[in-house]
Amino acid sequence: MSHTVVILAAGQGTRMKSARAKVLHEVAGRPMLGWVLDAAIATRPSAVMVVVGHEAEAVRASLPAGVSSCVQEPQNGTGHAVAVAMAAIGELDPDHTVLVIPGDTPLIGGETLARLVEGHHSSGAAATVLTAVLDEPAGYGRVVRNDDGAVVAIVEQRDADAATLEIKEVNSGMYAFRAGDLEARLAELRPDNDQGEYYLTDVAAGSVELGRMVRAIVADATQIAGVNSHAQLAGASAVARRAILETLMAEGVSVVDPARTYVDHGVAVGAGAILHPGVHLHGASSVGAGAMVGPDVYCEDSTIGPGARVWYSVLRSASVGAECEVGPYASLRPGTVLKKASKAGTFVEMKKTVLGERAKVPHLSYLGDATVGERANVGAGTITCNYDGFEKHETHIGDDAFIGSDTMLVAPVTIGKGAFTGAGSVISKDVPEDGLGVERSDQRVIPGYAARRRARYRKRDG
């Protein structure tokens, strides 16, 4: 039997005190809504409809292909939101299942939602509510069951008597509905409350009142937690990060301190890799088998090859090949490609630069818009003067070249294969293969200069 998912993502997140839509706040590097969508899509629904409201355009822009959206305006409660969604979805077979979930429960798992849908199908209920058992249920709606386990009431905290308050099974706000029952109940919904809003809880309650079968399925308490504040956001992020790392560790990755390692959903890390504390792996990043990463590495949209060692460095849209060494204290900016066994050492920055196999840039250098040949050695203090104040230009360094310390490579310029440059030279003309380029005056030595200067200062200050 097929089903449709409705995700409620119209809220503003007033308690976040943020202009952003609440569901776009990030948990472990991706918007909450992305996590919820993943769980929804994992149930293989026939369609997904996201109800958007505040910051509607930004929320829509975050949706993957194949997911529909509709706008709830004004935001008149969760029941109203579902009614808007049902109108947008169009006619459904009355026996079709509609799964309704909030957009701000990033820890919900796909297998839990699948269990909800399957349980709903097999019982033939009008509505099935996902619940959880909490040690401290205060604030939540309580789920009252009869001896058969059927739901006979969902009672809000404020309406509950003492006996009901003792119940620890609570409503998660996630439901599977029979489409026919959902539509009939939505049509009957009235805003009989102080806020004048239409509540989804009343849909389930309405089915109960009419004697229709309502069931409940219990989920892990962690999974139903909604995020309504930055503190809850931080808490959910910690749980999500830990789950990502548990998966990596089970696959053979060493994580020295999981509480201090920040890996986004979807980042692949090979077996035998070691992640030291303070590592951030974000976006479309990957780490090869046996690589050592960290301490203190920020890696965004970058690949780190097998057996590489990257520590105390920042990588953005960079590619680090197998067995490369990066850091401590390197910054690899977009377009940097380090081929196999090459090195970007200490206080080295690169941008749009390709470093050939076994080439080395050990210290204090800036290379931009450059290519460096295989086995070339770039001395400390080398800078590609790639910007003349008006335009960017390219630098090319041949295989086996030896760039002397403090060489200024005034681009566009080419250093031939096997060529040398003298330390401290400004190289503005090409150097041929196996040649030397040097720009230097003669060194002068002035005996006694320092002694005389000291004496002068001493006299003046004396």
In the region spanning residues 172 to 211, those forming contacts with its own copies, defined by CB under 8 A, are: none
Q: Which of 112, 221, 227 is nearest to 176 (CA)?
A: 112
Q: Which of 100, 83, 310, 257 is nearest to 184 (CA)?
A: 83
Of 121, 230, 265, 363, the active-site residue reads 363
Residue 445 binds its own copies (CB under 8 A): yes
363 labelled catalytic: yes
Residues 403-422 that bind its own copies (CB under 8 A): 404-406, 408, 410, 418-420, 422
Q: How far apart are CA 276 and CA 293, in angstroms?
A: 6
Q: Which of 5, 185, 194 is nearest to 101 (CA)?
A: 5
Q: How far apart are CA 386 and CA 392, in angstroms?
A: 5
Distance of CA 242 to the CA centre of its chain: 14
Q: How far apart are CA 253 and CA 245, in angstroms?
A: 9
Q: Which of 223, 226, 221, 224 is nearest to 133 (CA)?
A: 221
Residue 448 main-chain phi, psi, to 5 deg = 75, -5
Nearest residue (CB) to its own copies, 172 versus 377:
377
Shortest spacing between CB 405 and its own copies, in angstroms: 5
Q: Treating both helix axes as pointing N-terminal to C-terminal, what angle do 110-123 and 32-41 enclose, rounded to 10 degrees?
A: 40
Residue 106 binds its own copies (CB under 8 A): no
Residue 114 binds its own copies (CB under 8 A): no
Residue 93 main-chain phi, psi, to 5 deg = -55, 135
Q: How far apart are CA 30 and CA 41, in angstroms?
A: 16
Nearest residue (CB) to its own copies, 21 versus 189:
21
What is the distance in angstroms between the CA of the first residue and the CA of the last residue of the chain? 98
Residue 162 binds its own copies (CB under 8 A): no
Residue 307 binds its own copies (CB under 8 A): no
Shortest spacing between CB 440 and its own copies, in angstroms: 6
Q: Which stretch binds its own copies (CB under 8 A): 130-138, 164-172, 188-196, 438-446?
A: 438-446
Residue 431 binds its own copies (CB under 8 A): yes
Shortest spacing between CB 119 and its own copies, in angstroms: 27
Residues 212-241 that bind its own copies (CB under 8 A): 229-231, 233-234, 237-238
Name which position in 4, 43, 207, 425 contacts its own copies (CB under 8 A): 425
Residue 284 binds its own copies (CB under 8 A): no
Compose the 341-380 pattern: x for residues touching its own copies by CB under 8 A, - for all others. Answer: -----xx-x-------------xxxx----------x-xx
Residue 255 binds its own copies (CB under 8 A): yes
Name which position in 183, 264, 296, 369 contacts its own copies (CB under 8 A): 296
Residue 19 binds its own copies (CB under 8 A): yes
Q: Treating both helix axes as pointing N-terminal to C-terminal, what angle do 201-209 and 78-89 enclose, rounded to 10 degrees?
A: 90
Active site residues: 363
